Amino acid sequence: GSVMYQDIIFRGQVIGTIELERENIELGWTNEEQGLVAEIIDQAALALENARLVDQIRLRSDQIQLLQEVTALSASLKSEGEMLSDVTQRLRDGLGVYYTSVVLIDREAQHTRVAAAARAPEAPQVDYLTEHTFPITGNAVLADLLRDPKITMLTQVQSNPRVPASY
């Protein structure tokens, strides 16, 4: 058949391609048809970008709602343990992760303790040793986290041979 390919371009960047094919190989594509396809593709590129922006807005809205819920929990008159337990549960549910925990560092920065933890029902049972303290000295992962407080991806921590088995 007679085939026409046109790139879908948005802001000077190719974001896709469209293929049009006619059964009859003898029928070519007129300039008018090519122009119409180009206009339709331009509109499709705008629609695709708008759809992507809507998805980003929805995601950000969900994140803001989760942040508001967690903030409201922390402002409630609950005990520290109840509040942190609620926060870990909301984060686990809101982010769709298997495990989440809150580890607090004592004022002297010598020990940590798992203050709260939550796991998905389908996740394997893990002993978080909630309320047990762990010395920071000799724990390379905790020492690294104290030196560089950026968020560490769980997969990096789990694959790190320096993570103690109880963590």
Helix (H/G/I), strand (E/B), else coil: 84: helix
Per-residue tens of pLDDT for the chain, all 167 residues: 688 888 888 888 888 888 888 887 778 888 998 899 999 999 988 998 899 899 999 999 999 998 888 888 777 767 777 888 888 888 888 888 777 878 788 888 788 887 888 888 887 776 655 667 778 777 776 667 666 655 444 434 444 444 444 43
Residue 35, both tokens:
């122009």
CB atoms within 10 A of CB 136: 19
